[in-house]
């Protein structure tokens, strides 16, 4: 689905917990592309904001500390695009109106990658890497949709 030059598409970044990857994506989209897209995030099973995701984004100059975890239906918005940012959300994606285009852009899960980290700094390596991968993806939007 091509995005018209004059359109400002509404995007939902969807993951399972709406705690890390989708929050990072929303933060980057609002920080880098607020003139080109309206960005939101939600989860199939939201469970609160991840503190290390907040820290990783703050290091990059993006404040997501006031974000909340939501389900898509809590937002009350019709989305042009739903971008699933984790495989589980892609596999269990809720039903959206037929006009909504669903795109998968999977990223590794920083909390899972960092589960056995001995220190917070060791854990942050994973959050920073995924944060930067998400930024690179967001920089391609909306043209890549």
15 is an active site residue = yes
Helix (H, G, I), strand (E, B) or coil at 2: coil
Contact in structure between 95 and 79 (CB atoms under 8 Å): no
Rounded to 5 degrees, what are φ and ψ at 123?
Answer: -65, -40
- Pick the catalytic residue from 12, 15, 20, 56: 15
- Pick the catalytic residue from 39, 86, 123, 134: 86
- Pick the catalytic residue from 93, 101, 102, 114: 93
Q: What is the DSSP string of 5-38?
A: TT---EEEEEESSSSSHHHHHHHHHHHHHTTT-E
Catalytic positions: 15, 86, 93
């Amino acid at each position: 689905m091509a995005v018209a030059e004059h359109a400002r598409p509404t995007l939902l970044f969807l993951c399972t917990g709406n705690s890390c990857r989708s929050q990072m994506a929303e933060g980057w989209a609002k920080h880098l592309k607020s003139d080109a897209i309206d960005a939101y995030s939600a989860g199939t099973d939201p469970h609160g904001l991840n503190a290390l995701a907040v820290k990783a984004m703050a290091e990059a100059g993006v404040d997501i500390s006031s974000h909340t975890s939501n389900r898509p239906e809590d937002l009350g918005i019709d989305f042009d695009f739903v971008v699933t940012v984790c495989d589980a959300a892609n596999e269990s994606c809720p039903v959206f109106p037929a006009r909504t285009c669903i795109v998968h852009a999977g990223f590794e899960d920083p909390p899972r990658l960092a589960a056995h980290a001995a220190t917070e700094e060791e854990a942050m390596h994973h959050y920073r890497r995924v944060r930067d991968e998400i930024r690179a993806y967001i920089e391609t939007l909306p043209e890549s949709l």
